[in-house]
């Protein structure tokens, strides 16, 4: 499955330290390959469209579009929903 990143998601990955970025990208790649394997760490969003992935203290907001996984936003759990 193809993974598309928004500008804000890429900006976060560039600014975050290497260890954090690698951990988040690894989780996203696992989600793209096998969404059922990450079922206990994902949840449908109530206030907006899409889903969230929990990556330690970070959240990844995403949605499935056609045959692609689109990452909208990545951020710390206290800031990502604003």
Query: pLDDT digits over 6-61, tens only?
Result: 999 999 999 999 999 999 999 999 999 998 999 999 999 999 999 999 999 999 99
Domain hosting residue 14, numbered range: 2-76
Check if the beta carbon of residue 30 is closer than 8 Å to that of residue 38: yes
With a cut of 90, say whether residue 65 has pLDDT above it: no
Check if the beta carbon of residue 59 is closer than 8 Å to that of residue 53: yes
pLDDT at 66: 85
Alpha-carbon span 24 to 47, nearest angstrom? 23
pTM of the model: 0.93
Domains of the chain: total: 1
Does the residue 27 lie in any domain?
A: yes
Tokens of 5: 């990143």
In sequence order, what are the residues at sequence separation of 6 or more whose Cβ sits closer than 8 angstroms to the Cβ of residue 1? 32, 33, 67, 68, 69
Q: H or E stretch including 67?
A: none
Does the residue 67 lie in any domain?
A: yes
pLDDT at 17: 96
Average pLDDT over residues 72-81: 94
């Amino acid at each position: 499955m193809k993974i598309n990143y928004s500008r804000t998601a890429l900006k976060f990955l560039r600014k975050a330290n290497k260890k954090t970025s690698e951990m988040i990208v690894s989780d996203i790649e696992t989600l793209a390959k096998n969404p059922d394997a990450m079922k206990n760490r994902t949840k449908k969003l109530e206030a907006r469209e899409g889903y969230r992935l929990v990556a330690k203290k970070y959240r990844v907001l995403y949605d499935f579009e056609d045959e692609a996984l689109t990452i909208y936003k990545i951020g710390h759990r206290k800031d990502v929903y604003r």
